Amino acid sequence: MNGKPTDSSSLTRQGMDYGETADVQEVHAAIQREKREPRVGLEPLSIWLIVVYGLAIFTGGAYLGRYSGNFSGDGLDPMMGPPPAKKGGGGGGQQQEQAVLSPRDRGKKIFAANCQTCHQANGEGVPGQYPPLAGSEFTNGGSRRMAMIVLKGLQGPVKVKGQMFGSAVMQPWDKTLTDQKIADVMTYERSEWGNKASEVTAEQIAALRKELASHPESYGEHDILAAPDEDIPGGAAPAAGNAPPKPGEAAKPAPPK
């Protein structure tokens, strides 16, 4: 045979076969390098952290289940939601009707959301800045002047209850509130804080809104005083018991209160 003798040292460098003459430690080191896996990011999560997360999830679920109101907007507002069921049967099995808020009650909520910041909850306003509504001649007079102010706003000095309010600025609400909401808030203001004026209806506000449609700017005191101090036509009809007597018929006495 003419083959060259094989060098034993070359067996240790061919593939994975390190040969019988290779050092055992070198073989083990090569195996460990090939099977070594990264450990960064694989550390076990702390048991205390798992407990804290679990309690947070449980507490949040319990809170939503108790106070979510079935995820209904009406369920979160006690004034707008259905009334609580009365205990005891009501004969005949008739369904209980939902409580309806009066115009004054609706107006109270509108006042708290839009007017209370300036005129205050007691209706006394802010001295020198915002005129009072309690005892005001505009609030207790006819509904026309007051509705003109609410619809179109008021600017400039104005005298209320004998006091001047030089920086009085009332924003117009005709683009913000509907006829019904304006009627409700006026009804509330005209019957609160000792005020005793007539109720205002949405039909009256709608008629005045149409009448003032061509007036784009806010009014001044002179504009308001130039208008007649009267109620807007189209008010609520008188109750049946207070209807005027027919010709030739004696007037009936008013029922006792």
pLDDT in tens, 39-85: 666 667 788 888 888 888 988 887 777 766 565 555 555 554 555 55
Which of 65-79, 118-132, 240-254 is predicted with the least confidence, judged by mean pLDDT? Answer: 240-254
Tell me the three-class secondary structure of the chain, residue by residue. Answer: CCCCCCCHHHHHHECCECCCCCCHHHHHHHHHHHHCCCCCCCCCCCHHHHHHHHHHHHHHHHHHHHHCHHHCCHHHCCCCCCCCCCCCCCHHHCCCCCCCCCHHHHHHHHHHHHCHHHHCCCCCCECCCECCCCCCHHHHCCHHHHHHHHHHCEECCEEECCEEECCCEECCCCCCCCHHHHHHHHHHHCCCCCCCCCCCCHHHHHHHHHHCCCCCCCECHHHHHHCCCCCCCCCCCCCHHHCCCCCCCCCCCCCCC
Lookup result for tokens 């026309």: 144
How large is the average pLDDT for residues 92-108?
Answer: 69
Average pLDDT over residues 2-13: 52
Rounded Cα–Cα distance for residues 117 and 103 (Å): 21
What pLDDT was estimated at residue 140? 94
pLDDT tens string 189-210 = 999 999 999 999 999 999 999 9
- Region of poorest pLDDT, from 8-12, 51-55, 60-64, 158-162: 8-12
Query: Quick one: average pLDDT of 165-170?
Result: 76
Q: Is the pLDDT of residue 144 over 90?
A: yes
Q: CATH class for domain 103-226?
A: mainly alpha
**169 pLDDT band (50/70/90 cuts)?**
confident
Per-domain residue ranges of the chain: 47-74, 103-226
125-136 average pLDDT score:
90
User: Do the bridges between strand 169-170 and strand 154-155 make them parallel or antiparallel, or are there none, so unpaired?
Assistant: antiparallel
138 pLDDT more than 70: yes
Q: How far apart are CA 36 and CA 34, in angstroms?
A: 6
Predicted local confidence at residue 90, as pLDDT: 47
Residue 227 CA to its chain's centroid (Å): 36
Average pLDDT, the chain: 75
Lowest mean pLDDT among 36-45, 88-97, 104-113: 88-97
pLDDT at 95 over 50: no
Mean pLDDT of 164-181: 86
For residue 96, what pLDDT is reported? 42
CA distances from 109 to 103, 106, 224, 246 (A): 10, 5, 27, 41
